A and B are shown apart, each in its own frame.
Chain A
Amino acid sequence: MKNNLIMEINQYVAVVVSFYISFKIMRKAVRTGDKGILLNIVLGICCLALGNVYFFLLKIVSIVPGTISVGLFAKNCCYLFFIAALLEYKKEAGKRGGLYFCFINGATFVLTAACAYALLANNIYVLNISVLLMDLFCLVLAVGLIPNKKARFFACLMISISLLDVISSIEIFTLSVFLKSLSPLLYLLFARLIDSMKEDVTHAY
């Protein structure tokens, strides 16, 4: 009972924090007119925030969403924007060829199509496998960016998000409560990341 209350309060905090931070950084992205890394990160956070708002509004109107819902799909698809941001960093580093990017784009398409099929056909196994693969995919891309000084903070953040997602999918109760309680902190870290990116741009000028 106590755990449920804590989780509920944590969910409300996550909704408010995610909504506030996504609004704040979206304004920043629009002001700077960035159409690359910043915009992708902002859209990824907006996707997460929209997923949170989806479940929050459904709770208000007392509708219980199914195990697989569009809200969950939105939360999973935030990885697409984060993958796009990681690819931008890789492109800036300039170490990879066209074939590498083609492969990543192809794999992203297949995983998203599998996710969408799982949602349409209400198939939990396909969804779990495609989300797990998306997590691993993101993890591998982020690990490759750790040597890049400019992208290190974002890469570490992505590694932690992917790992948390993988671990929470194992669903050990105490652990998943602990991990879910971290989610407002992740949004704050994203806000810090955006601030540091803005500082970089200012220093560059």
Chain B
Amino acid sequence: MLTNIINNLLGSNIPGFIFSILIPLLFLIVMVKDKFSKYLLGYFCYGVFSVIFAFILNEWFSQYPGQINRVSSDISPIVEETVKALPLLHFFRKDRHNRKLVIYCAMASGIGFSVNETLFYFTSFVSSPSLYSIFPLIMRTITTCLMHGMSTAVVGFGVRITRDNKIIRLPMILGLLALSATIHSLYNILIGTRLAIVALLMPAAHYFVGIALLSNDDETQGGEAYKS
């Protein structure tokens, strides 16, 4: 079964997309000296690369009997969210880092993952190009990248707040993973229905809430620094 899956993978556009993005970025990572940027680019690269693991696992589970209709609604949300969030475990070991770096890295990993999906949609667009089909493509690109980025950022938020509280670390992060998988699944299901507008607005709403929370945090920290 695994051989078939790998053959399918090699026959798809995915390896081409991955290497055309990864190789230039790896050169950039080596060149950049700032650690913060290195982390962000590294996580972005991981996101791009993780599509391979997601593809293999999605294909693996979809070959169980009666699973074909469940791939986008039930299987891929769990698999993709887990795969994207895996490298965040690295932050459990590293104590001396910027508190918000984990959230940014999580988002970078999610966006890296979504780049591959977007490229896939782009190739479908190229096969039937018209002016009318570019608007849905742009909308889909914006919302897909926000959905993937924000759903992984939610897990990053969990890693950040449990940094000083190891006792509740596992249940909280697993719970957040379940939350993000549910949001992902809702997006996948609703995007093809008459409630597509809900699916399109959901990631945007998350994004603005995230910005508001992080800027609020900045103000608090800035205020404390000013007082001290």
A interface residues (Cβ-Cβ under 8 A, vs B): 30, 33, 35-36, 39-40, 43-44, 46-47, 50-51, 53-54, 57-58, 60-61, 63, 65-66, 68-71, 73-74, 77-78, 80-81, 83-84, 87-88, 91, 101, 105, 108-109, 112, 116, 119-122
- Shortest distance between the CB of B92 and any CB in chain A (Å): 12
Alpha-carbon distance between A47 and B176 when the two chains are bound, in angstroms: 9
B182 at the interface (CB under 8 A from A): yes
Alpha-carbon distance between A39 and B165 when the two chains are bound, in angstroms: 13
Alpha-carbon distance between A101 and B75 when the two chains are bound, in angstroms: 31
B128 at the interface (CB under 8 A from A): no
B167 at the interface (CB under 8 A from A): yes
Q: Which of A53, A77, A88 contacts B168 (CB 8 A)?
A: A88
Residue of A nearest to B179 (CB): A47
* Chain B residues with CB below 8 A from A44, complex form: 175
Q: Which of B167, B179, B183, B193 contacts A77 (CB 8 A)?
A: B179
* Chain B residues with CB below 8 A from A63, complex form: 189, 193
Alpha-carbon distance between A39 and B176 when the two chains are bound, in angstroms: 12
B86 at the interface (CB under 8 A from A): no
20 contacts across the A-B interface (CB closer than 8 A): A33-B220, A39-B161, A43-B176, A50-B179, A50-B182, A54-B186, A57-B190, A61-B190, A63-B193, A68-B74, A70-B78, A74-B178, A77-B174, A84-B168, A84-B175, A87-B171, A88-B167, A119-B74, A120-B79, A122-B74
B70 at the interface (CB under 8 A from A): yes
User: How many residue pairs bridge A and B at CB < 8 Å?
Assistant: 116
Known: A46-B179, A84-B172, A121-B61. 15 other contacts (CB 8 A): A39-B161, A54-B186, A58-B189, A61-B189, A66-B70, A66-B74, A73-B181, A74-B179, A78-B175, A87-B167, A87-B168, A88-B168, A120-B61, A120-B79, A121-B64
Mostly helix, strand, loop or mixed at chain A's interface? helix
Taken residue by residue from 169 to 204, chain B's Cβ proximity to chain A (1 for < 8 Å, 0 otherwise) reads as 111101110110111011001100111001000000
* Chain B residues with CB below 8 A from A81, complex form: 171-172, 175
Alpha-carbon distance between A122 and B46 when the two chains are bound, in angstroms: 29
Interface size on B, residues (CB 8 A): 38
B66 at the interface (CB under 8 A from A): yes
Alpha-carbon distance between A73 and B180 when the two chains are bound, in angstroms: 11
B77 at the interface (CB under 8 A from A): yes
B73 at the interface (CB under 8 A from A): yes
- Shortest distance between the CB of B220 and any CB in chain A (Å): 8
Taken residue by residue from 55 to 67, chain B's Cβ proximity to chain A (1 for < 8 Å, 0 otherwise) reads as 0000001001011
Asked if B161 and A70 sit within 8 Å, CB to CB, the answer is no
Q: Which of A83, A84, A120 contacts B75 (CB 8 A)?
A: A120
Asked if A70 and B182 sit within 8 Å, CB to CB, the answer is yes
* Chain A residues with CB below 8 A from B220, complex form: 33
B213 at the interface (CB under 8 A from A): yes
* Chain A residues with CB below 8 A from B61, complex form: 120-121
Alpha-carbon distance between A30 and B214 when the two chains are bound, in angstroms: 12
Alpha-carbon distance between A109 and B161 when the two chains are bound, in angstroms: 19
* Chain B residues with CB below 8 A from A35, complex form: 161, 165
Q: Which of A61, A68, A74 contacts B193 (CB 8 A)?
A: A61
Q: Which of A36, A57, A80, A84 contacts B186 (CB 8 A)?
A: A57
* Chain A residues with CB below 8 A from B213, complex form: 30
* Chain B residues with CB below 8 A from A46, complex form: 179
Asked if A109 and B190 sit within 8 Å, CB to CB, the answer is no
Residue of A nearest to B199 (CB): A57
Asked if B182 and A109 sit within 8 Å, CB to CB, the answer is no
* Chain B residues with CB below 8 A from A83, complex form: 171
* Chain A residues with CB below 8 A from B181, complex form: 70, 73-74
Alpha-carbon distance between A80 and B214 when the two chains are bound, in angstroms: 25
Asked if A73 and B165 sit within 8 Å, CB to CB, the answer is no
Residue of B nearest to A106 (CB): B170
- Shortest distance between the CB of B58 and any CB in chain A (Å): 10
Residue of B nearest to A33 (CB): B220
Residue of A nearest to B217 (CB): A33
Task: Give 7 closest A-B pairs by Cβ, nearest first.
Answer: A77-B178, A80-B175, A70-B185, A84-B168, A74-B182, A61-B193, A84-B171
